[in-house]
């Protein structure tokens, strides 16, 4: 079971600033463990961010994104109570979706 994505949303000057920290190993499949065994690739491939049901950002990741990926960006407008949903799917088909309300 994956850990929640930490999401921060701040209303600022007519925009909503979003910061998020995903919990994921982002293994590229080339690294070896202490016994010299190759660690299989395991990385987030697809991310979507929605506000009140509308997609504001759709992203594809490769394994060059760092472990526990970080994203920050800004969307126009917004109000207290907006629902922000951050979803991901990885190369093993695991998915996760986390929701916050803009304070």
Partner 1 sequence: MDSRRRDVLKAGGGLGIWSLLAVAGIVSPARAQDARNVAAFEATTLDEALQALGARDAAESGAIRIVAPDVAEDGRAVAISVSSEIPRTEQIVILIEENPWKVAASFRLSGAMAPAIQTRVKMARSTRVHALVKAEGRLFAARREVTVTVGGCGT
CA pair distance 77, 33, nearest whole angstrom: 46
Closer to partner 1 at the Cβ: 54 or 80?
A: 54
Least distance (Å) from partner 1 to the CB of residue 49? Answer: 9
Burial class, 9, CB count within 10 angstroms (exposed 0-12 / middle 13-18 / buried 19+): buried
Q: Determine if 25 is a binding residue for partner 1 (CB under 8 A).
A: no
Q: Are 73 and 56 in contact (CB under 8 A)?
A: no
11 binds partner 1 (CB under 8 A): no
* Subset of residues 44 to 63 that bind partner 1, contact rule: CB under 8 A: 45-46, 48, 50-51, 53-63
């Amino acid at each position: 079971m994956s850990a929640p994505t930490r999401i921060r949303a701040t209303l600022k000057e007519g925009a909503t600033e979003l910061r998020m920290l995903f919990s994921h190993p982002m293994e590229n499949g080339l690294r070896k463990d202490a016994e010299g065994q190759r660690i299989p690739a395991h990385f987030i491939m697809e991310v979507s961010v929605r506000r009140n049901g509308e997609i504001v950002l759709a992203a594809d990741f490769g394994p060059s994104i760092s472990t526990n990926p970080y994203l920050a960006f800004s969307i126009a407008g917004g109000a207290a109570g907006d629902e922000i949903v951050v979803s991901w799917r990885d190369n093993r088909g695991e998915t996760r979706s986390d929701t916050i309300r803009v304070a």
